Structure formats: structure tokens, C-alpha cells
Chains A and B, each alone.
Chain A
Amino acid sequence: MKYPIKITPKERLLKAIRMRRDIVEMTAAAGSGHPGGSLSAVEILVTLFNEFLVIDTDKPDWEGRDRMIFCKCHITPAIYSILARVGYFDPTKLMTFRKLGSELQGHPYRFYPKGIEMSGGSLGQNISITTGMALGLKTQGKPNRVYGLSSEGDLQEGQSWEAIMSAAHYKLDNLILFVDYNKLQIDGNVEDVMGVHPLDEKFKSFNWHVIEVKNGHDFDEIHNAIAKALTNKGRPTVIICDTVKGKGISFMENQVGWHGRAPNKDELAIATKELDEQEAKVNSMK
């Protein structure tokens, strides 16, 4: 299937709920994984994959595709979910996540499943990969864009700032980096563990084009930010999205503990009920 496509506000919401179901079901089935940061990135991924990324899921290696690099790679539940749901592979495979012999490794491996461009899991490394791909395409005069999805955890790694410095130095205006800024990490609040605030000022001082999304779960706001980024010339763009870790599941929202733990059977039942209610509400919309 070829993207981008046009989707309605209702479809956006339903796709997000579908992803949230995948995230809690996959982690519950695996007994491990990272639901919190997966849930915070849902609206970013639904918007980007459906409405902007130039891809053909039937031809994952098509030269003319945009490149999507995941920098925060622990959010494999969200990554595999969006890839399956846009059509790269059969969603029934999602339940093999993290199991022996599965293509769906705990952190992604470059060679599978389809739609994955690069391995990842060691934070900071893939902002450099994103930079290198943008530099490579630009050097060869190719028009494709490179998108990266990072987190503030990524931005604690010194290497990330090397990458950010070099992307601006080489004026990589074909690069758009998202920061899923959910403000929590394993050991606690980001600002308590190792503060990264103010991110916008940091990127500005590194000569990046900075767009802030005040509500990283608002589809229109995300859409408008990407549309604006596409008109930018002469420097890379960062879209800093203010998000809620664990978004959409009441007991996971803003809870550090849900960074890297799977819901048990009872917790999955509660999450599913909440998602059922959300879906019923959306379906009652016109």
C-alpha cells in the first residue's frame, strides 16, 4: 500500500486506539517490554506514517521512499504496531514479540521485520544514523526525507549532541527529528535524573529549526508541525512534542513504573476495558 493517505479525524482516533491495544496486548503476551514510552508516541506515529511518510509497504526497499529511523528503540511495541497496521506485515505476528525465533526482537534488528531501516536500542546512536542518511541522500542529490523519532533519554547521550551539531553544520534540511518529550525515564523524572530542559533553547543554539507541539497527542497540532517542517530550508528541524508517558491507559499515565514493565492479566483487562470505552465514544462521533 502506498502512503501518504488522507484520513479523517475519526480514523486517526481509531488507529491510535488500535495501536494502544497492540501495545498493551504485546507487552502482556511477552511478559516484558516498554509500554510507557510506546503509548506516548502513538499520535506522532499515526500522523507521520499515514499522512506524511512517502512509502510503499509492498516495496519496503523502494529507492524513492522516505526513511524513518527510530532512535528511541525500546518502544518496539509501538514501532511494530505501526509497521504492521500500515501494512508492512501481518498483525497476527505482533503476538510473537520478544519470543525466541521471532522477527520481533526486543529492540529492532536492521533486517526484519519489513519497514525497519536500522537496528537500534543503544540510545544516541540513531540520531547519528539519521544524520548520516540525510547527508548521504543530500550528497547524492536525492529528494527523499529522513525522519527520526527520539526521546529526551536519547538527548542525555553526548553523541546525540555531536550528531545535532553535525546535522546543522551540513545544513541537512531533509532531516526532521521528533522528540517524544514525556519527561520520565527509568530512574524517575528526567529533570531529577539528568535535566535536559530547556530543549528548545538547546536546539536553537545548535542552529536547528525548532517547532514545539504543546500537546503531543493532538493530531492537528502534530500535522501542522510536520507540514511546517517540510517548508523549512537550510537547516534541520526538530519537532519537540510535549507528551504523556503511558498516555491513554489511566493507571499508566505519568507513572515511571510503566517504563519497562508489562501489564499482568488483570491490568490488561482494565486497559482493554478503557480502550473499549474510548472506542465506543469515538464510534459515536459523526
Chain B
Amino acid sequence: MAREMLLSRQGWADTLIELGEKDPRIVVLDADLAKSTLTCQFKDKFPKRFFDMGIAEQNMVNVAGGLSLTGLIPFVTTYGVFVSGRAWEQIRTSICYGNLNVKFGGAHGGISVGPDGATHQALEEITIMRVLPGMTVIVPADFYETKKAVRAAVEINGPVYIRFGREKTPVVTTSETPFVVGKAITMKEGKDVSIIACGPMVAEALDAAEELDKKGISAEVVNLHTIKPIDKEALVATAKKTGCVVTAEEHQLAGGMGSAVAEVLAQNFPVPMEMVGINDTFGESGQPRELMEKYGITSKQIFEKALKVIERKK
């Protein structure tokens, strides 16, 4: 299905400016990637509230922590692999343990980063961020949902990690679609299989559901934009309704969104489950779509896993 294509990182940057206009406490930090993460637009508008910290992510995270201790609301932005990985212990011990009011924008999440290759393709952030007590983890589906996630992050007193990709991604929500942190969105009702997805994989899930429809299979599509705190109620409800689940994420399978869903269902309402994601490997250079296909994270794999998981119900 043809959909409008927009940059989620533009949603991030636009909303920082929107919030910055209303709230003088909003400050933005970047690590020499402001032109890529688009926080340079905030810098142009509010030069005194933008801090380029150079290529030094560990310091950037804790300086943001210090800024928050003086009443400011810092938004730390750089590539996801650097902020979540290189500064993980800073996020753990200073930010999460102290419940400091710092927001993280993990840009360039996923294999669709493309030609920059494996070093820059963040595939682990959901796992290593959701393990931290007190952290909220959001993977918005598109441009509009990224905007809503940023607005919602300001309302939370504590750390929030928002993951978004590099490329333009299909728009699957509107500016009016309700968004509540921790509340999954049913994008399409169905009765035979539940497809639970986050980020750009929501669009892939909707495409898969359309193909399944053609085969007379009714798929429910759930947009699990908040990985933590996870919406147990919605997950159990959809599992009860359809009796089987496929998860889809542009992320490592180990510990990711699918794992989080499995933790909930295994303990509350076990049903057959299949997972689409990166299977314990690093990426490589290539065009975004080529990589998604090569590494098996498109609507095609979701479709196949749906057929398989429905078989397992029998």
C-alpha cells in the first residue's frame, strides 16, 4: 500500500522546537551530529539552550544529568548505538538510579540506516534500555507518533528513551491518533492472529495483514509503541482473542520488543508465538530496503510467520 513517507527524526526536531517555544526549561544536547539528528534546527532557534558536547557521549549524558539537577529538561540526541551503548553505565548509574529527568533521542535505530553499515546500525537499544529500572522506552511508528512521544516525554518525571530511524518511513498514524505512553494501539482488528509491531515495522505488519486478508485470514495489528512500561492488558487481550502472536521489530530478537511480549504472555497467557527481527547477527552496508529484505524483516516474513503460527494453534 502506498503511504506518505516522512522522517521521524524531523518529528523529533520539530517537536523540540515546539516545546522549546513554550517551555524555557527545554535544552538540547548533541554530540557533533546535530546536522544529522536535525537538532541543528533547535540550535538555530535557541542557540543558548543548545549544547554541542563534541564527540564525547559519556560526558554528554552526565552533563545532561547535571543540567536536570538545576531544573532544566535536557534532551540528549545522537545515534542510538553511541548513546545507549557507549554511555550505558552513565545512563544506568547516574540517570536511572537517580531518576534524573533526562530524555534520550536514539537516532539511526535499526538496520535501515543503510550504507553506513554495522557500526552505525543500532540493533540493541531496546534490550539494554528496557533492562534499566525507571526507564521508559518508546519506539514510535512514524513521524506523527514521534512528535507525540516527545510531547509525552516532557510530562514524565524521569528518563525516557525514544528510538527512531534514519530513513523516511511510511506514515501509519495521524496527528489525531490518540497516544498514551504505555497504551498499545490496535491499528486493525482481527481474530485469527495478532501481529505486534513497533517502529517502522508497524507499516510492514499492516501490509502483511492486507496480504493475509486476501487469503481469508483475519489479522489483528497492534502498535506496541511503548516497550516499557509494557501494556500487559492489551497483550493478554489480543492473545486471548486470536490465540497466537507474531512480533515484528527492526532490532535484535534477544531481549527486544518480542522478548518483552514473550515475558508477558509466557507468564500470563501463553500462546504460540513467532518472532520477526534480527537474528543474532550484525548488519552491513546496503540500501535500506535491500537490508530489510536480506535480514528478513519485511511484511513477507511477517506474513510467513503468521501462517506458521496459525498452524501451531491446531
Tell me whether A126 and B72 are in contact in the complex, defined as CB-CB below 8 angstroms, given that A135-B51, A165-B54 are known contacts. no
Among B53, B54, B70, B98, contact of A110 (Cβ-Cβ < 8 Å): B98
Q: Which of A1-9, A116-124, A206-214, A254-262 contacts B (4 or more CB under 8 A)?
A: A116-124
Which positions 165-212 of chain B face chain A at CB distance < 8 Å? Answer: none
Closest B residue to A139 by beta carbon equals B48
Q: How far is the CA of A129 from the CA of B27 in the complex (A)?
A: 16
- Cβ of B59 under 8 Å from chain A: yes
Shortest beta-carbon distance from A89 to chain B in Å: 19
- Cβ of B90 under 8 Å from chain A: yes
Tell me whether A159 and B62 are in contact in the complex, defined as CB-CB below 8 angstroms, given that A136-B72, A166-B54 are known contacts. yes
Structural contact, A128 and B93, CB atoms closer than 8 A: no
Closest A residue to B61 by beta carbon equals A128
- Cβ of B89 under 8 Å from chain A: yes
Q: How far is the CA of A204 from the CA of B201 in the complex (A)?
A: 52
Tell me whether A109 and B67 are in contact in the complex, defined as CB-CB below 8 angstroms, given that A131-B59, A162-B59 are known contacts. no
The interface residues of chain B lying within 8 Å CB-to-CB of A129 are: 62-63, 65-66, 69, 94
- Cβ of A96 under 8 Å from chain B: no
Q: How far is the CA of A124 from the CA of B54 in the complex (A)?
A: 18
Tell me whether A125 and B49 are in contact in the complex, defined as CB-CB below 8 angstroms, given that A140-B72, A166-B54, A166-B56 are known contacts. no
Structural contact, A134 and B98, CB atoms closer than 8 A: no
Structural contact, B27 and A128, CB atoms closer than 8 A: no
The interface residues of chain A lying within 8 Å CB-to-CB of B59 are: 128, 131, 159, 162-163, 165-166
Among B66, B98, B99, contact of A132 (Cβ-Cβ < 8 Å): B66
Which positions 135-173 of chain A face chain B at CB distance < 8 Å? Answer: 135-137, 139-140, 142, 158-159, 162-163, 165-166, 169-170
- Cβ of B71 under 8 Å from chain A: yes
Which positions 167-194 of chain A face chain B at CB distance < 8 Å? Answer: 169-170
Q: How far is the CA of A134 from the CA of B72 in the complex (A)?
A: 12
Among A126, A133, A159, contact of B67 (Cβ-Cβ < 8 Å): A133
Tell me whether A126 and B62 are in contact in the complex, defined as CB-CB below 8 angstroms, given that A109-B97, A139-B48, A166-B54 are known contacts. yes
Structural contact, A125 and B90, CB atoms closer than 8 A: yes
- Cβ of A130 under 8 Å from chain B: yes
Closest B residue to A163 by beta carbon equals B59
Which positions 68-82 of chain B face chain A at CB distance < 8 Å? Answer: 68-72
Q: How far is the CA of A136 from the CA of B26 in the complex (A)?
A: 11
- Cβ of B64 under 8 Å from chain A: yes
Structural contact, B62 and A163, CB atoms closer than 8 A: yes
Shortest beta-carbon distance from B308 to chain A in Å: 45
The interface residues of chain A lying within 8 Å CB-to-CB of B51 are: 135, 170
Structural contact, B54 and A132, CB atoms closer than 8 A: no
- Cβ of B58 under 8 Å from chain A: yes
Structural contact, B70 and A136, CB atoms closer than 8 A: yes
Which positions 203-245 of chain A face chain B at CB distance < 8 Å? Answer: none
Structural contact, B56 and A165, CB atoms closer than 8 A: yes
Structural contact, A131 and B63, CB atoms closer than 8 A: yes
Among A117, A122, A130, A142, contact of B93 (Cβ-Cβ < 8 Å): A122
Tell me whether A139 and B65 are in contact in the complex, defined as CB-CB below 8 angstroms, given that A122-B89, A166-B53, A166-B54 are known contacts. no
Which positions 13-34 of chain B face chain A at CB distance < 8 Å? Answer: 27
Tell me whether A132 and B65 are in contact in the complex, defined as CB-CB below 8 angstroms, given that A139-B27, A139-B49, A163-B59 are known contacts. yes
Closest B residue to A138 by beta carbon equals B70
Tell me whether A135 and B67 are in contact in the complex, defined as CB-CB below 8 angstroms, given that A126-B62, A159-B58 are known contacts. yes
The interface residues of chain B lying within 8 Å CB-to-CB of A137 are: 70
The interface residues of chain A lying within 8 Å CB-to-CB of B54 are: 162, 165-166, 169
Shortest beta-carbon distance from A32 to chain B in Å: 20
Structural contact, B66 and A136, CB atoms closer than 8 A: yes
Q: How far is the CA of A169 from the CA of B60 in the complex (A)?
A: 13
The interface residues of chain B lying within 8 Å CB-to-CB of A122 are: 89-90, 93-94
Shortest beta-carbon distance from A111 to chain B in Å: 8
The interface residues of chain A lying within 8 Å CB-to-CB of B97 are: 109-110, 119
Closest B residue to A129 by beta carbon equals B66
B contacts, CB < 8 Å to A = 27, 48-49, 51, 53-54, 56, 58-59, 61-72, 89-90, 93-94, 97-100
Q: Given known contacts A122-B94, A128-B65, what 8 new A-B pairs fall within 8 Å (CB)?
A: A109-B97, A110-B99, A119-B97, A132-B64, A132-B68, A136-B70, A166-B56, A169-B54
**Nearest 6 A-B pairs (CB), nearest first?**
A132-B66, A136-B70, A128-B62, A162-B59, A132-B63, A162-B56
- Interchain Cβ contacts under 8 Å between A and B, 8 examples: A122-B93, A128-B58, A129-B62, A132-B62, A133-B66, A136-B66, A136-B72, A158-B58
